[in-house]
């Protein structure tokens, strides 16, 4: 049995007694996304209804709506930290606590979570933009060089979809180098961001490929997420498997470090 199969088996076993809290944690973590989407929709609707000039309205929607969405997403991002914490601690204790989702909204933890998320975002920003360049270049060429009648055709839709999938996959695989950042921040609560990223770098040395194999093994499951119901099974299943994998990576690094210290 492959390592991915073993981890998935452990994830299913862990979730067998925690499906209710696992789904509840996911739904709670999604609330900020719905709030952001709702805020953006309301803001855009108000601008369009109040501004008669269509061009000016579009400019205001993008210059106001998008910044509002980004700021709101950043301020609510500790919900993601809490979501991961709930699953990671479940991987350690075999019991999921819904209260963990709200852990980083407590005084003294909220700012630390925001700083960690911002640090991770900045590390991923430039590589993600570079990996999405083929997709962005294609869209730009379609608008500026190729005949506008090409936009919306079957070939246009197929090529843009393929490039978007490839860019997204590449960005996700690149992000795996930070696979244990949240696990380290949970286990070592008082560590600085510099220490957290340094520790993650040590843990993931030689394991990024293993994390990629685990992620790619979920491809058939991700294809089921075209409807909401499978998503409520697949995302908790994936999250639990990733957290169990992070736990084993971290324990392997701790064991190796202990051997080196003894030597």
Confidence (pLDDT) at 257: 64
Q: What is the pLDDT of residues 233-244, one digit of tens each?
A: 999 999 999 999
d(CA 198, CA 209): 19
- Token duo for residue 231: 């998503």
Q: Buried b / exposed e across 77-88, counting CB within 10 Å, b at 16+? A: bbbbbbbbbbbb
Per residue in 90-114, pLDDT (tens digit) is: 999 999 999 999 999 999 899 999 9
The Cα–Cα gap between 241 and 12 comes to 8
pLDDT at residue 263 above 50?
A: no
Q: What is the pLDDT of residue 228?
A: 65
Give the pLDDT confidence score for residue 23 in this predicted structure: 95
pLDDT, tens digit (0-9, with 9 covering 90-100), for 147-204 = 767 777 888 888 999 999 999 999 999 999 999 999 999 999 899 999 999 999 999 9
- Using alpha carbons, list the distances in angstroms from residue 172 to 176, 177, 178, 260: 7, 10, 10, 32
Q: pTM for the complete prediction?
A: 0.87
Q: Does residue 57 or residue 186 have the better pLDDT?
A: 186
**pLDDT beyond 50 at 121:** yes
Check if the beta carbon of residue 184 is closer than 8 Å to that of residue 250: yes
Burial (CB count <10 Å: 0-12, 13-18, 19+), residue 123: middle
CA distance linking residue 77 with residue 56, whole number of Å: 31
Task: Count CA atoms within 13 Å of residue 149 on its CB side.
Answer: 0
Of residues 14 and 145, more confidence is placed in 14
How many CB atoms sit inside 10 A of residue 120's CB?
A: 20
CB 225 within 8 A of CB 235: yes
């Amino acid at each position: 049995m492959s390592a991915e199969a073993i981890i998935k088996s452990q994830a299913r076993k862990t979730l067998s007694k925690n499906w209710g809290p696992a789904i509840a944690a996911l739904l709670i973590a999604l609330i900020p996304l719905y709030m952001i989407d709702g805020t953006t929709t309301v803001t855009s609707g108000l601008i369009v209804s109040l501004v008669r000039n269509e061009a000016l309205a579009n400019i205001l929607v993008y210059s106001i709506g998008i910044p509002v969405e980004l700021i709101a997403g950043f301020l609510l991002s500790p919900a993601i930290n809490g979501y991961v914490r709930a699953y990671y601690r479940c991987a350690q204790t075999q019991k999921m606590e819904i209260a963990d989702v709200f852990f980083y909204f407590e005084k003294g933890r909220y700012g630390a979570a925001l700083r960690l998320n911002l640090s991770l975002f900045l590390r991923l920003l430039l590589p993600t933009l570079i990996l999405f360049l083929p997709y962005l270049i294609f869209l730009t060429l379609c608008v500026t060089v190729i005949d506008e009648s090409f936009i919306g055709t079957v070939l246009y839709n197929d090529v843009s979809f393929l490039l978007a999938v490839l860019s997204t996959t590449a960005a996700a695989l690149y992000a795996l180098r930070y696979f244990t950042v949240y696990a380290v921040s949970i286990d070592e609560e008082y560590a600085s961001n510099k220490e957290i990223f340094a520790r993650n770098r040590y843990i993931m040395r030689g394991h990024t490929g293993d994390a990629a194999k685990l992620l790619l093994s979920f491809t058939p499951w991700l294809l089921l997420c075209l409807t909401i119901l499978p998503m409520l099974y697949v995302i908790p299943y994936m999250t639990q498997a990733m957290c169990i994998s992070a736990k084993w990576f971290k324990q392997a690094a701790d064991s190796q470090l202990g051997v080196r210290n003894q030597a």
